[in-house]
Amino acid sequence: MTFAFQKQNIVMQLYCNSLTKYSRLKTREIKIGDLLLGNLHPVRVQTMTTTDTMNTIATVEQTIRCIEAGAELVRITAPSKNEAENLLNIKNELRKRGYTTPLIADIHFTPNAAEVAARIVEKVRVNPGNYVDKKKFEQIDYTDAEYVEEIERIRERFTPLIKICKEYGTAMRIGTNHGSLSDRIMSRYGDTANGMVESAMEFLRIARGENYHNILLSMKSSNPQVMVQAYRLLIQQMDAEFGECYPLHLGVTEAGDGEDGRVKSAAGIGTLLEDGIGDTIRVSLTEDPEFEIPVCKDLVKRYAVDDKQLRVDGNIPAIETIPYSPFEYKRRETFAIDNIGAKHVPVVVADLSKTKKIIPSTLESVGYKYDETSDKWNIADAAADYIFTGHQLLNFALPGTLKVIVYPAAWALATDKEKYFPIFDAGGFAEAEQKSDAINFVMIDCFNDETSINDFTYLDELANDKTVVFCLSSSNKHAMPSLRRMFVELMNRKINNPVIINCDSHWQTADEHLIHYSTECGALLLDGFGDGICLGMNEESYELSTVNRKLSTGRTYLENQTPEQFINNTAFSILQATRTRISKTEYISCPSCGRTLFDLQETTAKIRSRTNHLKGVKIAIMGCIVNGPGEMADADFGYVGSGVGKITLYKGKEIMKKNIDSSIAVDELINLLKENDAWIDV
């Protein structure tokens, strides 16, 4: 298996079978208990318990709830030998109750616990960032000889575990986390996707040297950009070095809860699944673990149900050269038309064309609230930049920052040509007698069954017209590969007009819509494509979305809000998750596990309710001091459990307030934000 693509004199390495036809990446087959994984077996779904591992019955009962929800693997933390030993009681109780689902021990820092657990459960997870190395946040310069010595030290400490796994038929995940790279890796590779790959490869080389192959790998980060790049690089590296790939476990760490957790997870995991990558997935939500499973299933069912492939790609021409790097983020070069393109953050276009009569209060659903007393519009951080109203002109004065897109016949009647702009289909634009001097939106239906590459020669006529913004869509149910192909076509033809990504959902539930929008748009935005997004729903989904707003938790999402509000919030969440436009506070909260020292769900909700107006501030809420500080990645502030009833507060990686009482910890966090000019009064 080689993915070498020649581009001029540069060898551009691809990371999957195809960018235009859905095709699973074939990986080595591994066995976890009786479960086969990799080698094109269905993508397995899994989760992790949050109970205290020493509480056998609570852990057994939570594991059963996860299995009943559909988990095919369940992970349990083993922070020390005691918990590792108690895995035997948990396993025996599960077997007694008739459950044979493979169990995984989650190990950080403690090789002795791993060596006990590997004799009991079907799989162990080790973190190469802390299995042997102790993280001290130190920058040490290693000479080549010292570096080799360190690898030898790892070999000595890691080999006994490999031997036990071989003897007992136990599988292993080498699970790298962006937030917990060792000081040694950080000193040589920095905080990079390359460093994550090398961290895992060091362990994988040792395992292969021992002829042990029952291995899978993960490259998790709370930043989907880094996570996607790291998995792609890892595939490329394994292919180059071994000529084969080990199975991949996909996940976005500390994704948070509710809508944001789903959007962030789908942007990262969904982007990779679209390219046929991934053999098992875990969605890390700050919610009860059984609620993660329906989200996993919604992600996976987009590609296959009972071995039947669901994604149909239509007639998309193959990509012979890729004119961008899939391994580092670089936004496609465009020129600016008003506030769209070039260095402007991606705009949000809200589709209000299904609203029969738009009045001032309609705009509340897209971030504009009219105050009659002061005769002023209050504009939210997540306010749409453009609205599409179809044939409708509005009979009231609009907020200053908002512009309207309408069909050409309506635009011809509009008196305010600085506020209203026409949207044409490609043929209509060529023939139109009247066009805007400022912005003309031109719709392009990309590569469905009826179109071929030759149908797009007209693009050259529109190319670099300084008024034309392309609106790319596809009638294919999975539109992303068609749109990505069109972005490649634009780059190949050196067309630098800005582009709005149009994404329609045909799904029904809130979870399904969130996953669809986040996967389809996320996959493009993470590769630097798109100067704006416009999300829509077909008529049937639009009707359903008013009644079908339940998340997998059973909680109603955005109760009493219109479909337009749901869509507008989702659009801003996707831009935030892909780090292309920041419009709200970012929460990096761990999913909790047996190490957790406080009620994470309740505390996260409490912190969110006090700080959700702090646009752009990243706050981490982590359950334990052992992994929390490392895993909270690039958070600006951290709230970390450091003992029973005790919290330690961080600014970046620096401890600011140690072991304060949890009853005053949220207030102290607010004080810390104030002391550091990160607070604004509401």
- Applying CB under 6 A, the span of 160-168, 266-274, 411-419, 592-600 interacting with ligand SF4 comes to 592-600
Q: Strand 35-37 relative to strand 30-32: parallel, antiparallel, unpaired?
A: antiparallel
- Residue 395 amino acid letter: N
Q: Which stretches within 594-682 are classed as H helix?
A: 600-611, 628-631, 662-675
Choosing from 593, 620, 660, 678, the residue that interacts with ligand SF4 (CB under 6 A) is: 593
- Applying CB under 6 A, the span of 17-25, 84-92, 222-230, 584-592 interacting with ligand SF4 comes to 584-592
- 591 in contact with ligand SF4 (CB under 6 A): yes
**Residue 615: Cβ within 10 Å count:** 14
Site string for ligand SF4, 629-658 (x = CB under 6 A): --x---------------------------
Contact status, residue 289 vs residue 296, Cβ threshold 8 Å? no
Interacting residues with ligand SF4 between 243 and 302 (CB under 6 A): none
φ, ψ of residue 90 to 5 degrees: the values are -65, -45
Site string for ligand SF4, 374-413 (x = CB under 6 A): ----------------------------------------
Residues 6+ apart with CB under 8 A from 622: 254, 589, 590, 628, 629, 631, 632, 638, 639, 640, 641
Choosing from 595, 618, 637, 647, the residue that interacts with ligand SF4 (CB under 6 A) is: 595
- 662 in contact with ligand SF4 (CB under 6 A): no
- Residue 177 amino acid letter: N
- 518 in contact with ligand SF4 (CB under 6 A): no
- Applying CB under 6 A, the span of 374-382, 504-512, 539-547, 586-594 interacting with ligand SF4 comes to 586-594
Both tokens assigned to 586:
């970012």
* Cβ closest to ligand SF4, residue 284 vs residue 476: 284
Contact status, residue 244 vs residue 208, Cβ threshold 8 Å? no
- 596 in contact with ligand SF4 (CB under 6 A): yes
Helix then strand then coil, in percent of the chain rounded to 5, is: 35, 20, 45
Query: Among residues 110, 216, 196, which one has the least CA distance to residue 157?
Result: 110
Least separation in angstroms between CB 593 and ligand SF4: 3
Interacting residues with ligand SF4 between 607 and 626 (CB under 6 A): 622-624
The alpha carbon dihedral of 104, 109, 110, 114 has a sign of positive
- 129 in contact with ligand SF4 (CB under 6 A): no
Site size for ligand SF4, by CB under 6 A?
12
Choosing from 286, 552, 592, 604, the residue that interacts with ligand SF4 (CB under 6 A) is: 592
Least separation in angstroms between CB 552 and ligand SF4: 20
Least separation in angstroms between CB 111 and ligand SF4: 17
* Cβ closest to ligand SF4, residue 294 vs residue 623: 623
* Cβ closest to ligand SF4, residue 530 vs residue 630: 630
**Rounded alpha-carbon distances, angstroms, from residue 209 to 104, 114, 159, 203, 241:** 24, 20, 10, 10, 13
* Cβ closest to ligand SF4, residue 29 vs residue 52: 52
- 627 in contact with ligand SF4 (CB under 6 A): yes
Please give the Cα distance from 283 to 295 (Å, whole number): 7
- Residue 306 amino acid letter: D
Contact status, residue 218 vs residue 250, Cβ threshold 8 Å? yes
Owner of token pair 């499973």: 293
Please give the Cα distance from 282 to 261 (Å, whole number): 12
* Cβ closest to ligand SF4, residue 201 vs residue 593: 593
* Cβ closest to ligand SF4, residue 82 vs residue 464: 82
* Cβ closest to ligand SF4, residue 480 vs residue 593: 593
Please give the Cα distance from 420 to 387 (Å, whole number): 10
Residues making contact with ligand SF4 (CB under 6 A): 590-593, 595-596, 622-624, 627-628, 631
